[in-house]
A and B are shown apart, each in its own frame.
Chain A
Amino acid sequence: MNSSDNRVATYLDDLARMLSDIDPGERDEVLAGIREHLDAEIGSSDGGDAAVQAALLRLGPPERVAAEARAGHPAGPGAATAVARVTHPTRTRVATAVALALVVWLALWILVTRLAMLPLLYGGSGNEGVEALLPHPSEILLMVPLSPVWLVPLALVLLAPEVSGRPKIWLALSGPAVFVVGLVAGVWFDPLAVTTAVVVIGTLGVLGLAVAIARRVWRETSA
């Protein structure tokens, strides 16, 4: 590499280093723009060392470019959250999608199993119906391996720095909430009181809440 290429490479490396703490997408965009700028400028000149030096001089010191990049993001105590929020939108979105999918699955499972029991209640005699609505021991056994499953998205949400405050709490609680509601509705409520309407409304309610939170998280991570 001759000295001109060295100078350009050094400039770009220095700039990349100074931009290491901003959003990687934005950093790449700035570096690409500057690289293109230099290519165009040096390309239209004789390409000699003097031309390269002049071009780099006109660019201004990399510190100033980095300062301008940072000026777009307000500094202060909230900056870490703001920067982090833009840093890994994909990770947060994946975590949210997984959490939502599992909550939906869990809710649907409870909905289906509860609703499947109801015809038995109304179709058969009184005694038969009551017992049929209580979770069969094998069903409870099924729920046990289910429970750790929603701990995974729960952990993801809790660990994601991007989501904070209320959306985080609500999203984290939606999985456990659906699980507990299902358990309570299945075991403790008077089976005759658990009408189709109650099950549907309750499940859809929690689902709607989880979807609303996911949309909020989506919006925040696309800022």
Chain B
Amino acid sequence: MEPGDSAILTHLRRGALEHCVLALLDGEPRYGLDIARRLGDDGVLLAGEGTLYPLLARLRKQGLVETTWAESTAGPPRRYYSLTAAGRIALASFQRTWTTFRDAVDATLSGGQQ
């Protein structure tokens, strides 16, 4: 990645990253560290693991995600995040549109759609 790429990446993440988080919660509830690890530490999806938490707070405020507490054997109770019905709908909508969008961008970047 080159220096100017991070600004572009910030823009690209908007809209896509939150749906990636929703996708990770599709199968089962997860806690914060787990989500951060699965999003990878290469700086592509998450610009630092810390940025995950404002995002999760936003998703919860929007009603797409809800939290529950679960006892943990290794220390204090942990906060688990899970999808709400609205979150599931948002994720499904994104999954429908993403591949179309991604393919269209790829095609355009490699010479335009014929």
**Interface on A for B, CB 8 Å cutoff?**
15, 26, 29-30, 32-34, 36-37, 39-41, 43-44, 58-62, 64-65, 68-69, 71-72
Contacts and interface: CB of A to CB of B under 8 A. Distances in A.
A43 B75 CA distance: 8
Given A33-B53, A40-B78, A72 B32 contact: no
B15 to A, nearest CB: 12
Contacts of A68: 47, 50-51, 54-55
Contact of B75 (A39, A58, A60, A65): A39
B78 A64 contact: no
B90 to A, nearest CB: 16
| Chain A CB within 10 Å, residue with most, of B48, B53, B55 | B53
B48 A69 contact: no
B57 A30 contact: yes
Q: Nearest 7 pairs between A and B by C-beta?
A: A60-B48, A69-B54, A33-B53, A65-B50, A59-B50, A68-B51, A68-B54
A12 B57 CA distance: 17
Nearest to A28: B57
Given A30-B54, A33-B53, A61 B48 contact: yes
Given A40-B31, A40-B33, A44-B74, A33 B48 contact: no
